[in-house]
Amino acid sequence: MLIEFAPLQGITDATFRRIHCKEVGGISHYYTPFIRWLPNGIRNKDQHDTSMQSCGEVPTVPQVIAATRREFAYLCDFLSNQGHHRIDLNMGCPFPMQVHAHRGCGLMEHPDRIKEIIAEMKERPSIQFSIKMRIGNTNPQQAQLLLPMLNEAPLTHITIHPRIATQQYDGTPNMEAFEQFYNQCQIPIIYNGDILTIQQIEQLQASYPNLHGIMIGRGLVANPTLLMKDWTPQQRHQSFWKIHDELLAQAIQTLHDEGQVLNHLQAYWTYWKDHINKKRLKKITKTRLLKNYIELTTATRDDYPTDEG
């Protein structure tokens, strides 16, 4: 079964993907945060993140978000010229800015546009396409209604998250809607959503034996060694801090000022809050001095996993 690393905007950039692959591994493919076509082209940041130089030997699948066939074609041309042969289409982003622009989950409201994008896929046989989606934008039956069209698409797989966009990441996944989609979809399916333990993965495998894979995002960022079943707490702890230290060193080297370095690293602590005691977490996320941040994170290493301070 494939274990895929889901993309998180601002978190799973090329540096994080490379470090996780080197220090932990166990992942079939790492997906990039989505890139989009803007009036003046693709952002330099996104171009760098998907470049073959940045991806290196990490098994990387670039993800795109598009509202029209034309946008999708531009993005495919760009990634193909970079040397990519796999592209994932984001039809699952729940954030209003993208939804209102008819991208992400908003695209699910426009079967005619999806049909055009699938037609574009069929004209590019040298590229392997996949789709990441939700069960719907406002209606949990929307994915089901799109199935006749999706079953005819040239897709390696469909990754599906069993929430609607308006839920974002709140509420309970709708496993009834997922199961209905799973039973009728003729394309291999990857499950995504709320995976935090090995036991959950094993339960999904047992419940859905034809599942093609599992995609994990927030759970793997919060616990980078989640999949390492036989690792000791000490090994997990050491690996976590190796990842942190490499991210910090890279941020200091590449970002322009102290504030940018702090903002970048503090974003990760939204997910890493279980690795340290609450008092130090608050100080780490509030400090505006890099010197203080380094002192705090250095002192914090002895806290995990028993000190609740």
Give residue 305's pLDDT. Answer: 52
Query: Mean pLDDT, the chain, as a whole number?
Result: 95
Task: Please give the class, per CATH, of domain 2-222.
Answer: alpha beta
Does 213 score more than 60 pLDDT? yes
The owner of tokens 């974003």 is 267
DSSP string, 16-78: HHHHHHHHT---SEEEPPPB--BTTBS-HHHHHHHSHHHHTTS-EE-EE--SSHHHHHHHHHH
Mean pLDDT throughout 23-45?
A: 96
pLDDT band, residue 299 (cuts 50/70/90): confident
Max CA-CA distance within the chain?
A: 59
60-86 pLDDT tens trace: 999 999 999 999 999 999 999 999 999
223: number of CA atoms within 13 Å, CB side? 16
Does 235 score more than 50 pLDDT? yes
pLDDT band, residue 256 (cuts 50/70/90): confident
Domain ranges in the chain are 2-222, 233-300
The type of residue at 89 is: L
147/254 Cα distance (integer angstroms): 44
Give residue 308's pLDDT. Answer: 40
